[in-house]
Amino acid sequence: MRALTIATAIVTAVALVAYPMFVYWAFNRWEPRFAALTLLAVLAPVALVRVRKLVGDVDRSAVKALAIVPVVAFVAFALGALLDSAGFVLGAPVAINGVLLVAFGSTLRAGSRPMIERFARLAVSDLSQAELRWCRRWTVVWCTFFALNAAAAGVLAAAAPLSWWTLYNGLIAYILMGVLFAAEYIPRKIKFGRWSDSLLDRTLSRLVGAHRRTTGDS
């Protein structure tokens, strides 16, 4: 079961990262329907696994809701194939960012744990008040990013050359996400010293020369 989960995660990551480059290649050779059908063939097993997991999982937390991202992409590609429409294929990043915005934003309501806090608690269970404030602020930052990213993807899909859309969604957007992740994660670890035993934390703590405080020391 664990092997299936890992394989699904790898296929999902590769498909979503490579999808803009494939679209650029395919749209210069095929009709949108054929490009969408090819994408559907790749994502269909992943979407099926995700749907079964979401239906059978009693934990409906916002973290688990992120699993719906491949399903959203699958629906966009299905509409593109059905209608032979390039717009639905190019609009998939807009829909994906919209889902992420809702998933993160819904955790900011009163009485709910912000999304970044949920991720932080995967490694550390007892967060301080300062850490809780940090996680809430950064959840707002991520919501802002997803809103702006969706807007940029939408404008490029509607009014820019395909090469611009491909460059942004296939490279620039991922660089921005990586920079934003690092800008939140690294300072949080250095500021609060909550080092877990994960490979990332072990490597980072060595790089910054930090005294490692593991979750078991809390």
Give residue-wise pLDDT tens across range 45-83. 777 776 666 655 545 555 566 677 888 888 999 999 999
Is the per-residue pLDDT at 195 higher than 70? yes
Is the per-residue pLDDT at 156 higher than 50? yes
Host domain of residue 107: 2-180
- Does some domain include residue 188? no
- Does some domain include residue 65? yes
How high is the pLDDT of residue 217? 44
- Does some domain include residue 185? no
Looking at the 3D structure of the chain, how many domains does it have?
1
SS (HEC) of 139-181: HHHHHHHHHHHHHHHHHHHHHCCHHHHHHHHHHHHHHHHHHHH
- Does some domain include residue 174? yes
More confident residue, 5 or 206: 206
- Does some domain include residue 73? yes
- Does some domain include residue 186? no
Q: What is the mean pLDDT of the chain?
A: 85
- Does some domain include residue 102? yes
Place 35 in a pLDDT band, splitting at 50, 70 and 90. very high
What CA–CA distance (Å, rounded) separates 48 from 41?
11
- Does some domain include residue 192? no
What tens digit of pLDDT does each residue of 113-149 get?
A: 999 999 898 888 889 999 999 999 999 999 999 999 9
| Cβ atoms < 10 Å from Cβ of 17 | 13
